[in-house]
Amino acid sequence: MTGAGTWSLDESDYQKITANLTSLLKESNARCALLVDRTGQLLASAGEQLSFDPTAFASLTAADFSANDQLAKMIGEPEFASLFHQGEKESMYLADVARKVILVVLFDQRTTVGMVRLRVKQTVVDLSALFTEMFRRAAAADSQGAEQAGLLEGAEDEIDRLFED
Amino acid sequence: MSMINYASREINCKLVYYGPGLGGKTTNLEHVYGRVSPETRGKMVSLATETERTLFFDFLPVDLGTIRGFKTRFHLYTVPGQVYYNASRKLILKGVDGVVFVADSQIERMEANIESMQNLYDNMAEYGYDLTKIPFVIQYNKRDLPNASPVADLEQQLNPGWPVEDAAKQKPKPDPWHEGHMLIERVDGTWIERAPYFESVAITGDGVFDTLKAVAKLVLKTLS
Protein backbone atom coordinates (compact mmCIF):
# COMPACT_ATOMS: atom_id res chain seq x y z
CA MET A 1 0.00 0.00 0.00
CA THR A 2 1.73 3.18 -1.12
CA GLY A 3 0.72 5.87 -3.56
CA ALA A 4 -1.08 6.14 -6.84
CA GLY A 5 1.90 5.16 -9.03
CA THR A 6 3.07 6.42 -12.38
CA TRP A 7 2.25 5.59 -15.92
CA SER A 8 3.38 6.89 -19.24
CA LEU A 9 1.97 7.49 -22.64
CA ASP A 10 4.47 6.93 -25.42
CA GLU A 11 4.49 8.26 -28.93
CA SER A 12 3.10 5.11 -30.56
CA ASP A 13 0.23 4.76 -28.04
CA TYR A 14 -0.55 8.40 -28.63
CA GLN A 15 -0.65 7.90 -32.41
CA LYS A 16 -3.02 4.95 -32.06
CA ILE A 17 -5.28 6.90 -29.71
CA THR A 18 -5.52 9.94 -31.97
CA ALA A 19 -6.15 7.70 -34.99
CA ASN A 20 -9.09 6.17 -33.10
CA LEU A 21 -10.45 9.57 -32.15
CA THR A 22 -10.10 10.91 -35.68
CA SER A 23 -11.98 8.01 -37.19
CA LEU A 24 -14.71 8.37 -34.56
CA LEU A 25 -15.16 12.02 -35.53
CA LYS A 26 -15.31 11.19 -39.20
CA GLU A 27 -17.95 8.51 -38.71
CA SER A 28 -20.10 10.40 -36.22
CA ASN A 29 -19.77 13.90 -37.67
CA ALA A 30 -19.00 15.23 -34.19
CA ARG A 31 -16.88 18.34 -33.61
CA CYS A 32 -14.13 17.09 -31.37
CA ALA A 33 -13.15 14.30 -29.05
CA LEU A 34 -11.00 14.37 -25.92
CA LEU A 35 -9.54 11.64 -23.80
CA VAL A 36 -9.11 12.40 -20.11
CA ASP A 37 -7.77 10.14 -17.38
CA ARG A 38 -9.69 9.53 -14.16
CA THR A 39 -7.47 11.94 -12.25
CA GLY A 40 -8.40 14.77 -14.60
CA GLN A 41 -5.42 14.94 -16.95
CA LEU A 42 -5.93 15.47 -20.64
CA LEU A 43 -4.31 12.67 -22.64
CA ALA A 44 -5.24 13.48 -26.21
CA SER A 45 -7.70 15.38 -28.34
CA ALA A 46 -8.73 15.45 -31.97
CA GLY A 47 -10.99 17.49 -34.22
CA GLU A 48 -11.82 21.17 -34.25
CA GLN A 49 -9.66 23.67 -32.39
CA LEU A 50 -10.97 24.05 -28.83
CA SER A 51 -12.24 27.46 -27.84
CA PHE A 52 -11.86 26.78 -24.11
CA ASP A 53 -9.10 25.84 -21.66
CA PRO A 54 -8.66 22.08 -22.18
CA THR A 55 -6.86 21.55 -18.86
CA ALA A 56 -9.73 23.00 -16.82
CA PHE A 57 -12.18 21.12 -19.00
CA ALA A 58 -10.36 17.84 -18.32
CA SER A 59 -10.38 18.28 -14.54
CA LEU A 60 -14.10 19.09 -14.56
CA THR A 61 -14.81 16.08 -16.77
CA ALA A 62 -13.11 13.73 -14.31
CA ALA A 63 -14.98 15.33 -11.41
CA ASP A 64 -18.27 15.05 -13.30
CA PHE A 65 -17.68 11.37 -13.92
CA SER A 66 -16.54 10.66 -10.35
CA ALA A 67 -19.57 12.41 -8.88
CA ASN A 68 -21.88 10.47 -11.19
CA ASP A 69 -20.16 7.22 -10.24
CA GLN A 70 -21.06 7.87 -6.63
CA LEU A 71 -24.63 8.76 -7.57
CA ALA A 72 -24.85 5.47 -9.48
CA LYS A 73 -23.73 3.55 -6.42
CA MET A 74 -26.33 5.32 -4.29
CA ILE A 75 -29.12 4.11 -6.53
CA GLY A 76 -27.70 0.60 -6.68
CA GLU A 77 -25.89 0.71 -10.02
CA PRO A 78 -22.21 -0.24 -10.21
CA GLU A 79 -21.56 2.73 -12.51
CA PHE A 80 -22.95 4.95 -15.24
CA ALA A 81 -20.88 3.89 -18.22
CA SER A 82 -21.89 6.96 -20.16
CA LEU A 83 -23.27 10.44 -19.58
CA PHE A 84 -25.02 12.83 -21.90
CA HIS A 85 -25.24 16.59 -21.40
CA GLN A 86 -27.62 18.31 -23.76
CA GLY A 87 -27.30 21.98 -24.65
CA GLU A 88 -29.28 24.19 -26.97
CA LYS A 89 -26.63 24.09 -29.69
CA GLU A 90 -23.71 22.15 -28.27
CA SER A 91 -23.92 18.84 -26.47
CA MET A 92 -21.47 16.40 -25.01
CA TYR A 93 -21.38 12.67 -24.61
CA LEU A 94 -19.01 11.02 -22.13
CA ALA A 95 -18.13 7.35 -21.98
CA ASP A 96 -16.02 5.27 -19.66
CA VAL A 97 -13.05 3.42 -21.19
CA ALA A 98 -11.78 0.39 -19.24
CA ARG A 99 -12.42 2.20 -15.91
CA LYS A 100 -9.23 4.12 -16.62
CA VAL A 101 -10.07 6.99 -18.89
CA ILE A 102 -13.04 8.99 -20.14
CA LEU A 103 -13.87 9.66 -23.75
CA VAL A 104 -15.61 13.01 -24.29
CA VAL A 105 -17.28 13.84 -27.57
CA LEU A 106 -18.53 17.35 -28.33
CA PHE A 107 -21.12 17.69 -31.08
CA ASP A 108 -23.72 20.05 -32.48
CA GLN A 109 -26.81 19.89 -34.73
CA ARG A 110 -24.83 18.41 -37.61
CA THR A 111 -25.32 15.00 -35.98
CA THR A 112 -27.51 13.31 -33.38
CA VAL A 113 -26.94 11.80 -30.00
CA GLY A 114 -28.02 8.44 -31.41
CA MET A 115 -25.31 8.54 -34.06
CA VAL A 116 -22.67 9.65 -31.55
CA ARG A 117 -23.68 6.94 -29.10
CA LEU A 118 -23.54 4.28 -31.81
CA ARG A 119 -20.06 5.25 -33.01
CA VAL A 120 -18.70 5.77 -29.50
CA LYS A 121 -19.59 2.19 -28.65
CA GLN A 122 -17.05 0.77 -31.11
CA THR A 123 -14.40 3.33 -30.21
CA VAL A 124 -14.78 2.41 -26.53
CA VAL A 125 -14.15 -1.25 -27.39
CA ASP A 126 -11.02 -0.36 -29.41
CA LEU A 127 -9.65 2.09 -26.85
CA SER A 128 -10.38 -0.30 -23.98
CA ALA A 129 -8.19 -2.92 -25.61
CA LEU A 130 -5.46 -0.34 -26.13
CA PHE A 131 -5.52 0.93 -22.53
CA THR A 132 -5.81 -2.50 -20.98
CA GLU A 133 -2.68 -3.45 -22.87
CA MET A 134 -0.89 -0.22 -21.86
CA PHE A 135 -1.65 -0.74 -18.19
CA ARG A 136 -0.71 -4.41 -18.42
CA ARG A 137 2.68 -3.39 -19.80
CA ALA A 138 3.15 -0.85 -17.01
CA ALA A 139 2.22 -3.42 -14.35
CA ALA A 140 4.57 -6.02 -15.87
CA ALA A 141 7.44 -3.51 -15.86
CA ASP A 142 6.62 -2.72 -12.22
CA SER A 143 6.61 -6.34 -11.12
CA GLN A 144 9.98 -6.95 -12.76
CA GLY A 145 11.31 -4.14 -10.64
CA ALA A 146 12.02 -2.07 -13.70
CA GLU A 147 11.34 1.61 -13.24
CA GLN A 148 8.83 2.24 -15.95
CA ALA A 149 9.17 5.95 -15.42
CA GLY A 150 12.95 6.01 -15.45
CA LEU A 151 12.85 9.36 -17.20
CA LEU A 152 14.07 11.31 -14.19
CA GLU A 153 16.54 8.71 -13.00
CA GLY A 154 19.66 10.46 -11.78
CA ALA A 155 18.01 13.87 -12.17
CA GLU A 156 18.12 14.73 -8.44
CA ASP A 157 20.53 17.62 -8.99
CA GLU A 158 18.41 19.00 -11.78
CA ILE A 159 15.31 18.80 -9.55
CA ASP A 160 17.19 20.58 -6.75
CA ARG A 161 18.25 23.34 -9.13
CA LEU A 162 14.70 23.78 -10.40
CA PHE A 163 13.54 24.70 -6.91
CA GLU A 164 16.45 26.91 -5.89
CA ASP A 165 15.49 30.49 -5.17
CA MET B 1 -1.02 9.18 -10.38
CA SER B 2 1.71 11.03 -12.21
CA MET B 3 1.56 10.70 -15.96
CA ILE B 4 4.47 11.10 -18.33
CA ASN B 5 3.27 12.09 -21.75
CA TYR B 6 6.04 11.47 -24.27
CA ALA B 7 3.92 12.89 -27.06
CA SER B 8 3.42 16.32 -25.50
CA ARG B 9 6.67 16.06 -23.46
CA GLU B 10 4.96 16.75 -20.16
CA ILE B 11 5.09 15.27 -16.70
CA ASN B 12 1.69 15.74 -15.04
CA CYS B 13 1.31 15.42 -11.28
CA LYS B 14 -1.62 15.96 -8.96
CA LEU B 15 -1.27 17.82 -5.66
CA VAL B 16 -4.12 18.10 -3.17
CA TYR B 17 -4.46 20.75 -0.46
CA TYR B 18 -6.38 19.19 2.41
CA GLY B 19 -7.46 20.56 5.78
CA PRO B 20 -10.31 21.90 7.90
CA GLY B 21 -12.86 24.40 6.61
CA LEU B 22 -11.76 28.05 6.36
CA GLY B 23 -8.16 27.05 6.97
CA GLY B 24 -6.75 28.78 3.88
CA LYS B 25 -6.55 26.08 1.19
CA THR B 26 -8.26 28.16 -1.47
CA THR B 27 -6.22 31.21 -0.38
CA ASN B 28 -3.04 29.22 -1.08
CA LEU B 29 -4.18 28.57 -4.64
CA GLU B 30 -5.34 32.14 -5.14
CA HIS B 31 -1.93 33.40 -4.10
CA VAL B 32 -0.17 31.04 -6.52
CA TYR B 33 -2.58 32.12 -9.25
CA GLY B 34 -1.88 35.78 -8.59
CA ARG B 35 1.89 35.45 -8.48
CA VAL B 36 2.64 33.09 -11.33
CA SER B 37 2.87 34.55 -14.83
CA PRO B 38 -0.12 33.75 -17.05
CA GLU B 39 2.13 31.81 -19.46
CA THR B 40 2.97 29.25 -16.81
CA ARG B 41 -0.45 28.73 -15.32
CA GLY B 42 -3.86 27.82 -16.59
CA LYS B 43 -7.31 28.96 -15.65
CA MET B 44 -8.34 28.65 -12.01
CA VAL B 45 -11.59 26.77 -11.60
CA SER B 46 -13.60 27.10 -8.39
CA LEU B 47 -16.69 25.07 -7.67
CA ALA B 48 -17.93 27.12 -4.76
CA THR B 49 -21.21 27.96 -3.07
CA GLU B 50 -22.75 31.42 -3.24
CA THR B 51 -20.94 32.27 -0.03
CA GLU B 52 -17.56 31.43 -1.57
CA ARG B 53 -17.14 28.21 0.38
CA THR B 54 -15.60 25.42 -1.69
CA LEU B 55 -18.36 23.02 -2.67
CA PHE B 56 -16.43 20.47 -4.69
CA PHE B 57 -12.89 21.69 -5.40
CA ASP B 58 -10.68 24.49 -6.69
CA PHE B 59 -8.31 23.64 -9.47
CA LEU B 60 -5.21 25.39 -10.77
CA PRO B 61 -2.65 23.98 -13.21
CA VAL B 62 0.89 25.43 -12.99
CA ASP B 63 4.14 24.70 -14.79
CA LEU B 64 7.07 24.66 -12.42
CA GLY B 65 9.85 24.39 -15.00
CA THR B 66 11.45 21.93 -17.38
CA ILE B 67 13.44 18.83 -16.52
CA ARG B 68 15.16 16.77 -19.17
CA GLY B 69 13.12 18.53 -21.82
CA PHE B 70 9.83 17.70 -20.12
CA LYS B 71 7.50 20.39 -18.79
CA THR B 72 6.57 19.71 -15.16
CA ARG B 73 2.87 20.45 -14.88
CA PHE B 74 1.33 20.36 -11.44
CA HIS B 75 -2.42 20.20 -11.03
CA LEU B 76 -3.29 21.84 -7.73
CA TYR B 77 -6.59 20.89 -6.13
CA THR B 78 -8.25 21.89 -2.88
CA VAL B 79 -10.97 19.93 -1.15
CA PRO B 80 -14.03 21.30 0.64
CA GLY B 81 -13.11 21.52 4.30
CA GLN B 82 -16.49 21.18 5.96
CA VAL B 83 -17.03 17.80 7.55
CA TYR B 84 -20.26 17.03 5.70
CA TYR B 85 -18.66 17.24 2.26
CA ASN B 86 -16.69 14.03 2.73
CA ALA B 87 -18.04 12.30 -0.38
CA SER B 88 -16.70 14.98 -2.71
CA ARG B 89 -13.54 15.39 -0.64
CA LYS B 90 -12.70 11.75 -1.11
CA LEU B 91 -13.19 11.90 -4.88
CA ILE B 92 -10.50 14.56 -5.22
CA LEU B 93 -7.89 12.32 -3.62
CA LYS B 94 -8.14 9.82 -6.42
CA GLY B 95 -4.76 9.52 -8.12
CA VAL B 96 -3.07 12.05 -5.83
CA ASP B 97 0.75 12.31 -6.03
CA GLY B 98 1.38 14.69 -3.15
CA VAL B 99 -0.61 16.14 -0.26
CA VAL B 100 -0.38 19.47 1.57
CA PHE B 101 -2.28 19.57 4.84
CA VAL B 102 -3.21 23.19 5.58
CA ALA B 103 -3.77 23.45 9.31
CA ASP B 104 -5.45 26.45 10.92
CA SER B 105 -3.07 27.59 13.66
CA GLN B 106 -5.79 29.22 15.76
CA ILE B 107 -5.98 27.54 19.14
CA GLU B 108 -9.74 27.01 18.91
CA ARG B 109 -9.33 25.15 15.59
CA MET B 110 -7.09 22.44 17.03
CA GLU B 111 -9.97 19.93 17.25
CA ALA B 112 -11.00 20.65 13.65
CA ASN B 113 -7.38 20.14 12.51
CA ILE B 114 -7.13 16.80 14.27
CA GLU B 115 -10.45 15.63 12.89
CA SER B 116 -9.47 16.63 9.35
CA MET B 117 -6.07 14.92 9.63
CA GLN B 118 -7.77 11.71 10.76
CA ASN B 119 -10.22 12.04 7.89
CA LEU B 120 -7.30 12.43 5.46
CA TYR B 121 -5.66 9.22 6.72
CA ASP B 122 -8.98 7.37 6.47
CA ASN B 123 -9.82 8.58 2.97
CA MET B 124 -6.31 7.82 1.69
CA ALA B 125 -6.47 4.33 3.19
CA GLU B 126 -9.75 3.67 1.39
CA TYR B 127 -7.92 4.14 -1.92
CA GLY B 128 -5.07 1.94 -0.69
CA TYR B 129 -2.69 4.90 -0.41
CA ASP B 130 -0.37 5.27 2.54
CA LEU B 131 0.17 8.87 3.61
CA THR B 132 3.46 7.94 5.26
CA LYS B 133 4.85 6.73 1.95
CA ILE B 134 3.87 9.51 -0.42
CA PRO B 135 5.06 13.13 -0.59
CA PHE B 136 3.29 14.87 2.28
CA VAL B 137 3.91 18.25 3.89
CA ILE B 138 2.06 20.19 6.56
CA GLN B 139 1.47 23.92 6.45
CA TYR B 140 0.65 25.78 9.66
CA ASN B 141 -1.34 28.70 8.36
CA LYS B 142 -2.49 31.97 9.95
CA ARG B 143 0.75 32.39 11.90
CA ASP B 144 0.08 36.14 12.11
CA LEU B 145 -2.98 35.79 14.34
CA PRO B 146 -2.65 36.52 18.05
CA ASN B 147 -4.49 33.32 18.97
CA ALA B 148 -2.14 31.06 16.96
CA SER B 149 -0.93 28.00 18.86
CA PRO B 150 2.83 27.58 19.21
CA VAL B 151 4.28 25.45 16.38
CA ALA B 152 5.56 22.94 18.94
CA ASP B 153 1.97 22.28 20.09
CA LEU B 154 0.72 21.90 16.52
CA GLU B 155 3.58 19.52 15.73
CA GLN B 156 2.82 17.45 18.78
CA GLN B 157 -0.87 17.17 17.91
CA LEU B 158 -0.77 16.89 14.13
CA ASN B 159 2.69 15.62 13.24
CA PRO B 160 3.90 13.37 16.06
CA GLY B 161 5.60 11.06 13.54
CA TRP B 162 5.14 7.50 12.41
CA PRO B 163 7.46 4.56 13.06
CA VAL B 164 10.15 3.91 10.46
CA GLU B 165 10.10 0.19 9.73
CA ASP B 166 12.49 0.15 6.77
CA ALA B 167 15.94 -0.47 8.31
CA ALA B 168 17.62 1.38 5.44
CA LYS B 169 15.79 4.56 6.44
CA GLN B 170 16.62 4.28 10.13
CA LYS B 171 19.21 7.04 10.28
CA PRO B 172 18.96 10.62 11.50
CA LYS B 173 17.64 13.01 8.85
CA PRO B 174 17.79 16.71 9.63
CA ASP B 175 14.98 18.97 8.48
CA PRO B 176 16.50 21.06 5.64
CA TRP B 177 14.02 23.85 6.29
CA HIS B 178 14.41 24.20 10.08
CA GLU B 179 17.78 24.14 11.76
CA GLY B 180 17.97 21.81 14.75
CA HIS B 181 14.73 20.02 13.82
CA MET B 182 14.81 16.40 12.68
CA LEU B 183 12.57 14.68 10.12
CA ILE B 184 13.82 11.22 11.09
CA GLU B 185 15.18 10.55 14.56
CA ARG B 186 15.22 8.00 17.33
CA VAL B 187 12.83 8.76 20.16
CA ASP B 188 12.80 6.49 23.22
CA GLY B 189 14.41 3.70 21.24
CA THR B 190 12.00 3.93 18.27
CA TRP B 191 12.83 5.47 14.89
CA ILE B 192 10.18 7.93 13.83
CA GLU B 193 9.64 10.08 10.77
CA ARG B 194 7.69 13.32 10.55
CA ALA B 195 6.29 15.23 7.60
CA PRO B 196 8.13 18.46 6.74
CA TYR B 197 6.26 21.50 7.99
CA PHE B 198 6.00 25.14 6.93
CA GLU B 199 4.62 28.21 8.63
CA SER B 200 2.48 30.48 6.52
CA VAL B 201 0.23 33.48 6.25
CA ALA B 202 -1.53 32.48 3.04
CA ILE B 203 -3.43 35.74 2.77
CA THR B 204 -0.16 37.67 2.35
CA GLY B 205 1.55 34.78 0.58
CA ASP B 206 4.14 34.08 3.26
CA GLY B 207 5.17 30.45 3.10
CA VAL B 208 2.86 29.59 0.19
CA PHE B 209 5.58 28.99 -2.39
CA ASP B 210 7.91 27.34 0.14
CA THR B 211 5.19 24.78 0.77
CA LEU B 212 4.40 24.26 -2.91
CA LYS B 213 8.05 23.93 -3.92
CA ALA B 214 8.75 21.45 -1.14
CA VAL B 215 5.91 19.10 -2.04
CA ALA B 216 6.53 19.44 -5.79
CA LYS B 217 10.18 18.57 -5.29
CA LEU B 218 9.29 15.52 -3.22
CA VAL B 219 6.89 14.37 -5.95
CA LEU B 220 9.49 14.73 -8.72
CA LYS B 221 12.03 12.88 -6.59
CA THR B 222 9.71 9.89 -6.42
CA LEU B 223 10.15 9.68 -10.21
CA SER B 224 13.94 9.81 -10.06
Side-chain-facing half-sphere of A146: CA atoms under 13 Å: 9
- What is residue B92's predicted lDDT score, i.e. its pLDDT? 93
B170 & B146 share domain: no
pLDDT digits (tens, 9 = 90+) for B20-67: 999 999 999 999 999 999 999 988 998 888 777 888 889 999 999 999
Residue ranges making up the domain that contains B13: 3-159+195-222
B116 & B168 share domain: no
Q: How many domains does chain B have?
A: 2
CB contact under 8 A, B5 and A55: no
- Residues B137, B214: contact at Cβ < 8 Å? yes
Query: The pTM is what?
Result: 0.89
B93 & B138 share domain: yes
CATH superfamily of A11-144: Dynein light chain 2a, cytoplasmic (3.30.450.30)
What is the distance between the alpha carbons of residues A117 and A111, in angstroms, rounded to a whole number? 11
CB contact under 8 A, B67 and A162: yes
B148 & B167 share domain: no
B84 & B179 share domain: no
B170 & B90 share domain: no
B180 & B73 share domain: no
Residue A146 has pLDDT above 80, yes or no: no
Task: Give residues 89 to 108 of B whose Cβ lies within 8 Å of A.
Answer: 91-92, 94-97
CA nearest to B13, candidates B218, B158, B208, B155: B218
Chain-wide mean pLDDT for chain A? Answer: 88
B136 & B59 share domain: yes
Averaged pLDDT for residues A113-125: 96
B27 & B64 share domain: yes
pLDDT digits (tens, 9 = 90+) for A71-111: 999 999 999 999 999 999 999 999 999 988 999 999 999 99
Shortest distance between the Cα of A53 and any Cα of chain B, in A, equals: 7
Decide which of B115 and B54 is more confident. Answer: B115
B40 at interface of A, judged by CB pairs closer than 8 A: no
Helix B25-35 vs helix B208-222: crossing angle, to nearest 10: 90
What is the distance between the alpha carbons of residues B66 and B147, in angstroms, rounded to a whole number? 41
What is the distance between the alpha carbons of residues B50 and A128, in angstroms, rounded to a whole number? 40
Residue A1 has pLDDT above 50, yes or no: no
Chain A to chain B Cβ contacts (< 8 Å):
147
B94 & B176 share domain: no
B115 & B180 share domain: no
Give the rounded percent of residues in chain B with a pLDDT score beyond 90: 79
What is the distance between the alpha carbons of residues A28 and A47, in angstroms, rounded to a whole number? 12
B52 & B100 share domain: yes
pLDDT digits (tens, 9 = 90+) for B130-178: 999 999 999 999 999 999 999 999 999 999 999 999 999 999 999 999 9
User: Which one of B2, B55, B63, B218 makes the best mutation probe of the A interface by having the most chain A beta carbons within 10 Å?
Assistant: B2
Provide the pLDDT confidence category of residue A148 given band limits of 50, 70 and 90: very low
